A and B are shown apart, each in its own frame.
Chain A
Amino acid sequence: MTQGARLQEPRAAAPPPPRRSGGRAGRRGTRLADLTGVAPPMALFGLFIIVPMIAAVVLSFVRWNGLGTPHWAGGANWAEFFRDPVARTSVIVTAKVVVLSYVVQTPISLALGLFTAGRQRYRSVYATIYVLPLLLSTAGIALMWESLLDPSFGALSSLAKSWHLGFLQQNWLGSPSLTLYVVVAIIAWQFIPFHTLLYAVGRRQIPAVLYEAATLDGASPLRTFWRITLPQLRYTIVTSGILMIVGSLTYFDIVYIMTDGGPGYTTRVLSLDMYNVAFLQDQYGYASVLAVILGVVGIAVAVGLVRFTGFASMASQQEGAA
């Protein structure tokens, strides 16, 4: 974050640490100009993101139903989290959704991404069709699958009847053992297109020279994949992984519309639990505990992945010039 200089016109022999504190560098009122550009987005961001973030932490120590005066509760809300069996279930369900989503979506997206990055004409037609689910809103996707999966009139049960495929006749959205997997599958249907695009872009950025060299050396396709494609895609793998994990960690829409956490609590993810505690039970303090946990885990996962994979070195190279 120190080098602000890339775009600055060359300055006569700048002193070694080029951190410019306003006054010295100030050419006619640039400091004011600085603020006019940055202040509006900063105000918007500060008011609606930073203030709520701080407020969420404060609220987690307060007992409040949204109407009366808030009462200081100390650590009572936090203690409740560790006693609350529903919260415990939600944490487990969320962890399942995150892990399953990652395990399902990553290989499929990678394979489809590599496929659509290929040169043949029909592959770009495929790529175009693959994008279509991205245009649908989550609400639309949820309603579509809801009617598809309807056990009496749905299209799947009709297939089951006309083709004698008994296993397609299931209570997809009402079965304690099955519904979580159905939800994970629908989330995958929604997001694999996006990650496929990421991988396709990543694959196209790999220099062709590497593959030519591999061919000359007589490397098998499989070997080329392990030795060239996969290592070259590492940044894409990290980016896609972060988005996938943080996204499914906070996943809300499909679950809210399709199952509302049911049957029982089998699909009650943490963000849905928080929503219900806040807006149905009016316990804003305790809901904020759940919210803070979501936020902290999300940030920790993102930062952890960046650190762990050495992605930071690239990011900071890009950032460094800012």
Chain B
Amino acid sequence: MRLRAGRMIAFVLATAWLVIVIAPLYYMILASFRTQGTYLTANPWVPSGGLSARSYSTVFHAGLGRYLVNSVLLTAACIVLTVTLSLAAAFRIVRRTSRAVGVAFVTMLFGLAIPVQAIIVPIYVLIYKMHLYDTLLALILTLSAAAIPVSVLIMVSFVRDIPREMIGAMLVDGGSEWTVFRRLVWPLSRPVLATLAIYNGLNVWNNFLLPLVLTQSGSVAVLPLGLTKLEGLYSINVPAVMAGVLLSVLPLLILFVLMRRQVMNSLGGLVAR
């Protein structure tokens, strides 16, 4: 009896949180299909009174397509860079023979504790001096660098768990370190690489501070920054802004629907190990 009451309370509270999560999203979807006029007059919670998709074409005319392309390029580049660099590094760290590599590893782990906010001013100065200000390359380099510590840590703890008998057997059979990497480590680590790609990809896609500080013009703006530009442009056109936000999350939503398990496991599992 007590148990059933407990279940009931849990159900009610969980459903309350469900409403808290869904209600704003529902509101946003509905608002994006209003026109500027009906947004002001219609009840924001009821899907009636003239819905239209005009806002979606409005935001594309305002440059959202450009932001979308920039975000895709940036995210893809960062994923490729971090995943390949951290896998290669992890293999060398686990099979290291020199002390310098160990030192490098500890240094990178130390990076886990440094918030980007604390070093944003020198990063800006550095990027400016390198003549990379207002370029996508600046974002690719800095966001990848910021993702290195967690990526290396995860890859190291994975590579370390590959049984050393397997590696030993390969070496006995005359394989080189390179063979071990290509035939054993690389195929085995593909699921972890996917996990890492999702985690890093999400962080890069949604990052706001670095694009805000390191870029300026609309032609290199990524989505989060572009959305705020959109708001500056259409501060009275709320439906357009909401349509922009929804379009910016659409690629991630499609990815999420296609690989829900993988996404949830990688977000939860990465840190929880």
Contact = CB atoms under 8 A, between A and B. Distances in A.
Interface of A: 1, 4, 6-10, 19-22, 25-27, 30-31, 33-38, 40-42, 44-53, 55-56, 59, 66, 108, 111-112, 115-116, 123, 126-140, 143-145, 147-148, 150, 153-155, 158-159, 162, 189, 193-194, 197-198, 200-202, 205, 220-221, 236, 239, 243, 246, 249-250, 252-253, 256-257, 271, 274-275, 278-279, 284, 287-288, 291-292, 294-295, 298-299, 302-303, 318-319, 321-322
Contact of A38 (B13, B89, B113, B162): B89
Contact of A138 (B101, B104, B224): B224
Contacts of A20: 97-99
25 contacts: A7-B160, A7-B162, A10-B168, A22-B100, A27-B97, A38-B89, A46-B107, A47-B126, A48-B146, A53-B119, A56-B118, A56-B119, A135-B253, A136-B249, A137-B208, A147-B238, A162-B43, A189-B24, A205-B272, A295-B119, A298-B114, A319-B109, A321-B160, A322-B93, A322-B102
B122 A59 contact: yes
A51 B92 CA distance: 24
Contacts of A53: 114, 118-119, 122
A47 B111 CA distance: 12
Contact of A8 (B104, B164, B224): B164
Interface in B242-273: 242, 244-245, 248-249, 252-253, 256, 260, 263-265, 267-269, 271-272
A282 B222 CA distance: 25
B168 A250 contact: no
A48 B249 contact: no
Given A37-B93, A48-B126, A143-B242, 13 more contacts: A21-B98, A44-B81, A49-B119, A115-B14, A135-B256, A138-B224, A143-B228, A147-B241, A155-B31, A197-B268, A221-B2, A253-B208, A295-B115
A35 B115 CA distance: 27
Give the interface centre of A21, A41, A159, A253 by most chain B CB atoms within 10 Å. Answer: A41
B102 A4 contact: yes
Give the interface centre of A4, A46, A140, A153 by most chain B CB atoms within 10 Å. Answer: A140
Contacts of A143: 227-228, 231, 241-242, 244-245
A139 B122 contact: no
Given A34-B101, A66-B125, A137-B205, A291 B117 contact: yes
B123 interface: yes
Top 7 A-B residue pairs of the complex, sorted by shortest distance between their CB atoms? A37-B92, A295-B118, A197-B268, A52-B122, A48-B145, A55-B122, A139-B224
B97 A34 contact: yes
Contact of A59 (B92, B121, B249): B121
